[in-house]
């Protein structure tokens, strides 16, 4: 029998995942690997992985990877891409990495219209350090550093950084998606493909924000985590294309 | 190439381009702005990349990205900006990536001022950032030496896969002198370790995260073996009137230039003074000083700081000789007369008395 869904070429086999049960990283990792294979980009791909749970992404990605200090992903990606424009360069970053400590790098790489792609995992919480407040944490959401829930008067409001950079002329493609079920996963795959194609066509910065489950720190079951994304998280972070300047540039 | 008249800051940039640096990332800060401006004017013509980054932190991380692909890359700043780059310098050391970082020092701490100072010696020679690592540091004392050491720094960085720092100050950056550049480098070492995309080979990764403590320890000792090689091979210094010297000055960079004037002055009065000018601050010329201490009883350390290199001199001499320190921090620049008085005084007090 021929497998309908074979193992992606650029996804390592026979490794034990370090991610928690129900985590979204594994899903998005695989989608990235599938799209790279489909678009024949794996041989010239460089991924910049973050500080955070996905710091170990190179255990799974079977293409070249460089680690970054917390928040500096798009600066490193800028250096890689500018020195070797023929390489395919993308960052894989979490919400703390990209929209707290790395806000300046995110904003300015986007504003320069760097021809790179950003895969932005938004799970509204700091995962690796044990569930602290993230810039993206929802109002009233409990974390280990907002034990009574996020109080906007005290802790500020959820940051919508993808909406911010989508306003920039240098950002050619920005979309928010959610891995909250089979339909969401298919849409995420399509969004990643669109973003990657944007870079291949040399049109500028592309970013895909993925609302992704963190059952461990949300203290929900994996199934309830999916539901929470659909029912709660997408009300704060509506899914959809935030900017698509691809046709205008042709 | 013919002799040209050029500022230190421009010379760093021109020499880097000639050395094959093809990526420069920096953020404006006085007194080194002319370096970035020169890069903006000349780097793209040389087929390279110039980006004025959003911060010092971003600049050093762009350097990491470019260095990872095997490109010769550089950034420059002055004291407060160099503090911001320390995170990235630590990562360069951990990743074992070559890069050149120029520090045109100014007075501090904090914002301090924009006048020449040597207060960043500890930061430069002790690693500066977090973790167990060393950074080779070279300190030029003329514009010609800025040209020579910049080219040298790129070679050392590539040879040992390490970040290298050029430690200068506002005086060296701003002043103009005649300089002759060497011909542009066209032959570069092959960098098999560089990330180029996996192609048909196995995938690779550059990481500094090593969660297993024993593995991390192995990496630390591997770095130490490299640093030992650097200590063995890369010590650089200048001897000045040392053969008959009875009192020896230790000074680097701008301070060493001033000390030369002072030594000429006291020699006229029959004071047999000489100088060792460390050019590599790490590795420090420890052995040389220690050997010299078997013959010379009196050393004088001059710095434009409150005494930082002084500690390296103390370590090197192992208590075998007397050390007098005179420092002027905060952006004040001492004069040759000021130094001459101190050399003369110490000579009368110790050397002559012994006679």
Q: Which residues of B touch A46 (CB under 8 A)?
A: 68-69, 195, 197
ipTM of the shown complex: 0.96
CB contact under 8 A, B49 and A56: no
Within a domain: residue A8? no
Residue of A nearest to B89 (CA): A69
Mutation pick from A64, A97, A112 vs chain B, by most beta carbons of B within 10 Å, is A64
Within a domain: residue A11? no
Within a domain: residue A250? no
CB contact under 8 A, A75 and B61: yes
Q: Which residues of B touch A200 (CB under 8 A)?
A: none
Q: Which domains does chain B have, with CATH numbers?
A: 4-233 (3.40.50.970), 238-354 (3.40.50.920)
Within a domain: residue A2? no
Give the CATH number for residue A129: 3.40.50.970
Structurally, chain A folds into a number of domains equal to 1
Within a domain: residue A143? yes
Asked if the C-beta of B91 comes within 8 angstroms of chain A's C-beta atoms, the answer is: yes
Residues of chain B with pLDDT under 50: none
Asked if the C-beta of B6 comes within 8 angstroms of chain A's C-beta atoms, the answer is: no
pLDDT digits 0-9 by tens, B69-92: 999 999 999 999 999 999 999 999
Within a domain: residue A219? yes
Instruction: Kindly state the average pLDDT of the residues A192-208.
Output: 98
How far off is chain B from A208, nearest CA to CA, in Å?
A: 22
Can you give the pTM of this predicted structure? Answer: 0.97
pLDDT digits 0-9 by tens, B92-149: 999 999 999 999 999 999 999 999 999 999 999 998 999 999 999 999 999 999 999 9
Residue A249 has pLDDT above 90, yes or no: no
CB contact under 8 A, B197 and A44: yes
Within a domain: residue A15? no
Whole domain around residue A34: which residue ranges? 25-245
Q: Which residues of B touch A79 (CB under 8 A)?
A: 23, 25, 61-69, 73
pLDDT digits 0-9 by tens, A117-165: 999 999 999 999 999 999 999 999 999 999 999 999 999 999 999 999 9
Residue A250 has pLDDT above 50, yes or no: no
Question: Nearest Cβ partner of B204 from A64, A69, A84?
Answer: A64
Residue of A nearest to B74 (CA): A79
Asked if the C-beta of B25 comes within 8 angstroms of chain A's C-beta atoms, the answer is: yes
Asked if the C-beta of B73 comes within 8 angstroms of chain A's C-beta atoms, the answer is: yes
What letter does residue B333 receive in the DSSP assignment? -
What is the overall mean pLDDT for chain A? 96
Within a domain: residue A7? no
Main-chain phi, psi angles of B334, to 5 degrees: -70, 165
């Amino acid at each position: 029998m021929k497998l309908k869904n074979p193992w992606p070429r650029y996804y390592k086999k026979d490794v034990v995942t370090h991610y928690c049960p129900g985590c979204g990283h594994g899903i998005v990792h695989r989608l990235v690997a599938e799209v790279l294979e489909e678009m024949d980009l794996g041989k010239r791909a460089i991924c910049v992985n973050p500080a955070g749970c996905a710091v170990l992404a190179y255990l799974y990605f079977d293409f070249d990877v460089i680690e970054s200090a917390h928040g500096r992903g798009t600066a490193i990606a800028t250096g890689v891409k500018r020195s070797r424009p023929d390489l395919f360069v993308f960052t894989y970053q979490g919400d703390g990495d990209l929209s707290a400590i790395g806000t300046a790098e995110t904003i300015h790489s986007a504003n320069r219209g760097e021809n790179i792609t950003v895969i932005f995992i938004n799970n509204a919480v700091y995962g690796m350090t044990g569930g602290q407040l993230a810039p993206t944490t929802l109002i009233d959401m409990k974390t280990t550093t907002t034990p009574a829930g996020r109080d906007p008067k005290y802790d500020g409001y959820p940051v919508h950084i993808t909406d911010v950079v989508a306003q920039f002329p240098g950002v050619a493609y920005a979309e928010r998606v959610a891995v909250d079920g089979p339909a969401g996963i298919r849409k995420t795959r399509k969004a990643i493909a669109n973003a990657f194609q944007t870079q291949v066509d040399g049109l500028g910065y592309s970013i895909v924000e993925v609302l992704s489950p963190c059952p461990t720190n949300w203290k929900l079951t994996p199934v309830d985590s999916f539901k929470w994304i659909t029912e709660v998280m997408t009300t704060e972070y509506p899914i959809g294309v935030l900017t698509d300047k691809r046709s205008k540039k042709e | 190439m013919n002799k040209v008249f050029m500022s230190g800051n421009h010379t760093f940039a021109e020499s880097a381009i000639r050395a094959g640096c093809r990526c420069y990332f920096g953020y404006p800060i006085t007194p080194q702005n002319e370096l970035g401006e020169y890069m903006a004017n000349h780097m793209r013509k040389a087929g390279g990349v110039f980006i004025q980054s959003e911060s010092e932190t971003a600049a050093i991380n762009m350097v990491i990205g470019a260095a990872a692909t095997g490109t010769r890359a550089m950034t420059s700043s002055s004291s407060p900006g160099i503090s911001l780059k320390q995170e990235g310098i630590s990562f360069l050391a951990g990743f074992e990536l070559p890069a050149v970082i120029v520090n045109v020092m100014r007075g501090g701490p904090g914002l301090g001022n924009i006048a020449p100072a040597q207060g960043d010696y500890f930061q430069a020679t002790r690693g500066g950032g977090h973790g167990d690592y060393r950074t080779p540091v070279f300190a030029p004392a003329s514009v010609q030496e800025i040209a020579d050491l910049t080219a040298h720094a790129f070679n050392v960085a590539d040879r040992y896969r390490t970040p290298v720092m050029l430690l200068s100050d506002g005086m060296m950056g701003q002043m103009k002198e005649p300089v002759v550049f060497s011909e542009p480098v066209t032959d570069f070492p092959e960098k098999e370790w560089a990330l180029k995309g996996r192609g048909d080979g196995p995938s690779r990764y550059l990481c500094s995260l090593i969660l297993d403590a024993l593995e991390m320890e192995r990496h630390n000792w591997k770095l130490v073996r490299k640093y030992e090689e650097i200590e063995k091979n890369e010590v650089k210094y200048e001897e000045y009137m040392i053969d008959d010297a009875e009192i020896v000055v230790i000074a680097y960079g701008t301070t060493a230039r001033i000390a030369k004037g002072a030594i000429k002055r006291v020699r006229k009065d029959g004071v047999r003074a000489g100088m060792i000018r460390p050019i590599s601050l790490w590795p420090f010329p420890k052995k040389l000083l220690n050997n010299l201490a078997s013959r010379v009883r009196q050393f004088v350390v001059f710095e434009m700081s409150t005494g930082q290199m002084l500690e390296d001199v103390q370590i090197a001499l192992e208590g075998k000789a007397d050390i007098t320190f005179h420092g002027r921090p905060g952006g004040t620049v001492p004069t040759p007369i000021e130094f001459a008085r101190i050399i003369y005084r110490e000579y009368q007090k110790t050397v002559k008395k012994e006679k």
